[in-house]
Structure 1
Amino acid sequence: MPAEPPVTLHLLAKAPLPGQAKTRLIPCLGPEGAAQAHACMVRHCVATACDALGAEHVTLWTSLDHQHPLFRELQTHYGITLAAQQQGDVGMRVRHALKSAQGPAMVMGTDCPSITVAMLKLCSTALKSVPVVILPAEDGGYGLIGTHDDYPSLFENIPWGTDQVLNVTRQRLAAQALETAFPDTMWDIDRPEDWLRWQHSLHAQQ
């Protein structure tokens, strides 16, 4: 029996450029502070991903500035793969990353540090027995999706950035009779209160 291909994990990240990264945090942190907060989240998510699956199975898909020092720092420190994101909306970028891999693959953003090593391991394990795995978000979206095959309808004409993303995705899954695992629920960092929530959780762990 051939060995099962390993699950790969693909992270989508913007370069932390002031005024272009986590803009909804600017009223709270300012352009520079929001960019620094974004960089902090990217570092956290890459560390979590490598801890969960091993750096050899992690790819960081970059945008805005593919040569940004943050990306080079993470590649040098962890040994992860860097790749340039596909142009287009969220669905096109996620689908392109998933299709780039041989075997089962998962994609997540880098603004969701609530996703833990344990959650990633749960998702990786679940993906060995079901076609699709999703980590729903509290705001009606999702923070991670994993698949074995290409399912275009899961990514086309989705109302990205709204509270209907998960509902519409569930409808598409049902239409194709795709068994899906939802191992846990996460939350991402969009607004100042989300950033404060994460900071409080970090202090609580110390």
Structure 2
Amino acid sequence: MQPPTIALFAKYPAAGAAKTRLIPALGPEGAAQVHRLLVERTIATIRHSGLPFAVYFSGAPREDFAAWLGDDVALVEQGEGDLGDRLTRVAAPAILLGADIPGLTPRHLQQAASALDRSDAVVGPAQDGGYYLLGFRQRLPFLFTDMEWGTASVLDHTLARLKAQNIAFTLLDMLADCDRPADLAHYPNLLP
């Protein structure tokens, strides 16, 4: 099997449009700066993993992302629709990834890729009840339809759907994300 491509989903770090749940604590500019740092940190982590990757972008034109991240970063427009619609478009084999997990290491990504050698899917559970990573050998569109994104039940619903379809999956270590003002206390190095 060819190695999975990491599909990093990222918004442009525009004030007022990125990390909006952090705005009450940091203001629009501060929240955007935290998002910028998280995306840059995640790309560095991906590079250290040695896995191929592409940034699935939204919130600004391709040229703005290229100016920010560099010409050597593969860029794919997310397109229209809700999160499920956008995730469904990623070709397999792939590892879907968000940029809001400060504790993510190259080892987590390498473990995810290795898991796909023996499982059909791999899931990295997040402490908030969602997941920070989802990998698959073949497209699994049923995981992305009629999902209540951003809720504490996303992980449970995802695992139940995998089990109902008899899809063999591997669970990675649980990690915390940085989405809400209370999360910032754990990551003081992200504060602007």
The normalised TM-score by structure 1 is: 0.87
1:135 aligned partner: 124
Matches within 5 A, 1:80-91: 80-91=73-84
- Would the aligned equivalents of 1:41 and 1:113 in 2 still touch at CA under 8 Å? yes
Q: Percent identity?
A: 38
Q: 3-state SS of the aligned residue for 1:11?
A: strand
Residue in structure 2 matched with residue 38 of structure 1 by the alignment: 35
**Kept in 2: contact 1:61–1:85 (CA 8 A):** yes
- Asked if the contact 2:54/2:75 (under 8 Å) is kept, the reply is yes
Q: Secondary structure at the match of 1:128?
A: coil
Q: Match for 1:48: what amino acid? A: T
User: What do the CA deviations read for 1:155-175 (whole angstroms, capped 9, x no partner)?
Assistant: 111111100101111111111
1:118 shift after superposition: 1.0
- Answer yes or no: is the 8 Å Cα contact 1:112–1:186 preserved in 2: yes
- Partner of residue 94, structure 1: 87
Matched, 1:157 2:146: yes
Letter in 2 for 1:61: Y
**Cα distance, 1:71 vs. partner?**
4.2
**Which sections of structure 2, spanning at least 5 residues, go unmatched?**
none
CA contact 2:12–2:18 (8 Å) conserved in 1: yes
**Cα distance in 1 for residues equivalent to 2:67 and 2:168:** 38
Measured against aligned partners, the alpha-carbon deviations of 1:46-104 in whole angstroms (never above 9, x if no partner) come to 111111134xx11001101024645433233xx2201111211111111212x2x5xx2
SS at match of 1:194: helix
Correspondence for 1:187 among 158, 172, 176? 176
* 1:52 maps to 2:49: yes
Q: 1:7 & 1:68 partners in 2: Cα distance?
A: 26
Structure 1: gaps of 5 or more residues: none
Q: What does 1:106-117 align with in structure 2 at a 5 Å threshold?
A: 106-117=95-106
AA at the equivalent of 2:76: A
Partner of 2:24: 27
Q: Deviations over 1:7-46 (max 9, x none)?
A: 2101000001111110111111111111111101010011
State how far apart, in whole Å, the 1-side matches of 2:157 and 2:79 are.
Answer: 23
* Matching residue of 1:66: 61
Could you tell me how far apart the structure 1 residues matched to 2:2 and 2:121 are? 16
SS state at 2:134 partner? strand
Q: TM-score, normalised by structure 2?
A: 0.93
Code of the residue aligned with 1:47 in structure 2: it is: A
SS at match of 1:87: coil
The reply to whether residue 14 of structure 1 matches residue 3 of structure 2 is no
1:107 Cα offset (Å): 0.7
Superposed CA RMSD in Å reads 1.7
What CA deviation, in whole Å up to 9, does each residue of 1:133-164 have, x standing for no partner? 00001011000100011222111111111001
